[in-house]
Chains A and B, each alone.
Chain A
Amino acid sequence: EAGVAQSPRYKIIEKRQSVAFWCNPISGHATLYWYQQILGQGPKLLIQFQNNGVVDDSQLPKDRFSAERLKGVDSTLKIQPAKLEDSAVYLCASRPAGGTYNEQFFGPGTRLTVL
């Protein structure tokens, strides 16, 4: 079974530029998460999708971050414009729908450096 795919793996941009990350979850997984992990900290949830609907985006800085999951499969996360404090690893995870008994599976992450 293929895992969660993310691209790009690394991105370096200047502040105020825009950037987009892509995630392809495990086939059949209805729930998709985007996390931000700052160096030395645990991942922080940015947004959770159930199929193509948003379940939780309470910690997403909506003035600059946006995410979508068209057709309930792939997802993109965009930052526009980027700030220095956005430097982090952006992790995508997925899990099967329903119940509380299913694990999250993570992709390798995208490491963003904002200069």
Chain B
Amino acid sequence: KQEVTQIPAALSVPEGENLVLNCSFTDSAIYNLQWFRQDPGKGLTSLLLIQSSQREQTSGRLNASLDKSSGRSTLYIAASQPGDSATYLCAVKGSWGKFQFGAGTQVVVTP
């Protein structure tokens, strides 16, 4: 059974600092991995989708890497802003067809 872990559960950084968020998974037989952002009381917003054949994906200040062999993905957010404060979740799509989510990392960026 796939297990997805996100550590740390919470993170606080000063504005301008780079954010590094981690996602680990136990079964490397995945099709893709997706990073989401969730604001309080809101649904999930897709940030980046990395296919199993890719090593990284970039969008603006966001960069996500994927290392299937070690069961890890990292989301980097450059030059953090207070508007980046949210919970960040990763989800893996495995050969069994389901998306399995981590519990998320709650980020606070202080001005």
Contact = CB atoms under 8 A, between A and B. Distances in A.
Given A100-B32, A103-B46, A104-B46, A42 B101 contact: yes
Interface in A14-34: 33
Contacts of B98: 45, 48, 56
A6 to B, nearest CB: 8
Given A42-B104, A55-B97, A56-B98, A107 B43 contact: yes
Nearest to A9: B41
A43 B101 contact: yes
B103 A42 contact: yes
Contact of A104 (B4, B41, B99): B99
- Assign chain A's interface to a size class: 20 to 34
Contact of B43 (A40, A44, A103, A109): A109
B72 interface: no
A26 to B, nearest CB: 12
B31 to A, nearest CB: 4
Contacts of B91: 42-43, 104
A105 interface: yes
Given A45-B98, A45-B99, 10 more contacts: A41-B103, A42-B101, A48-B97, A56-B97, A91-B43, A91-B44, A101-B51, A104-B34, A104-B46, A106-B45
